Amino acid sequence: MSEAGVDGDAGVPPARAMILAAGRGERMRPLTDSTPKPLLDVAGRPLIEWHLTTLAAAGFRQIVINVSWLAARIEETLGDGSRWNVEICYSREPYPPLETGGGIFRALDLLGDEPFLVVNGDVFTEADPGRLRLPGNSLAHLVMVPNPPHHPAGDFHCRSGLVASMPPGERLTYSGMGIYSPALFAGCRAGAFPLAPLLVEAMARGYVSGQRYDGYWCDVGNPERLDLLRAHLA
């Protein structure tokens, strides 16, 4: 990773982590009709288990997982997290789920008052979440990656450690991993809503920092990319 927001006194380390795992995975159907996307097999173990192993190795001990589609299957498979030396708390959502913003907002009571890490359950990366920090003046810190072939236009601009929705700066793709302050969600109301508008509003005020990551990353969005990840890990 780049140096912005990493290591030393660059900011506040996240206290807890959240894995987003509530979605049905429409682009993965029919695989996800009977198996929740986080439990799809990747090199001999469920995709979400790779996240749990990485988070545990990075020092996280309290992990929140939001669940909706086939929620009982996920809870039965992962249990209380003791196999990974972590404590798992489940944030249960109705179906259809509450989108990213609404899902995080619903889980805030489980995430505490300090900055927390969020990682999408349907990405895979070899980035080390234990090195991430939230700078003191930021409401969010995003890990950005080079634009993949299926998303060539990217999401946001990143320049000098700040992320913005408008130029200048190189346009990159949000990796699905970031640190968030609970204050980002001030004024939100319970229900389904996306995360992006909250980020864009904070970007306009200069409150979203970020860093570029050039290591391995995969958006496991469809069966073809699932096969690519399996080949990489094999």
> What CATH number was assigned to the domain covering residues 16-233?
3.90.550.10
Q: What is the pLDDT along the chain (234 residues), one digit of tens a residue?
A: 443 333 434 788 899 999 999 999 898 999 999 999 999 999 999 999 999 999 999 999 999 999 999 999 999 999 999 999 999 999 999 999 999 999 999 999 999 999 999 999 999 999 999 999 999 899 999 999 999 999 999 999 998 899 999 887 789 999 999 999 999 999 999 999 999 999 999 999 999 999 999 999 999 989 999 999 999 998
Which amino acid would we find at residue 106? Answer: R
What is the pLDDT, as a whole number, of residue 142?
97
Q: Where are the domains of the chain?
A: 16-233
How many other C-beta atoms can be found within 10 angstroms of the C-beta atom of residue 215? Answer: 10
* pLDDT for residue 234: 85
* Per-residue pLDDT, 11: 86
Q: What is the pLDDT of residue 166?
A: 84
pLDDT at 4: 37
pLDDT at residue number 75: 98
Using a CB cutoff of 8 Å and minimum separation of 24, what contacts does 98-101 make? 98/22, 98/66, 98/68, 98/191, 98/192, 98/193, 99/192, 99/193, 99/194, 99/195, 100/20, 100/194, 100/195, 101/185, 101/188, 101/193, 101/194, 101/195, 101/196, 101/197, 101/198
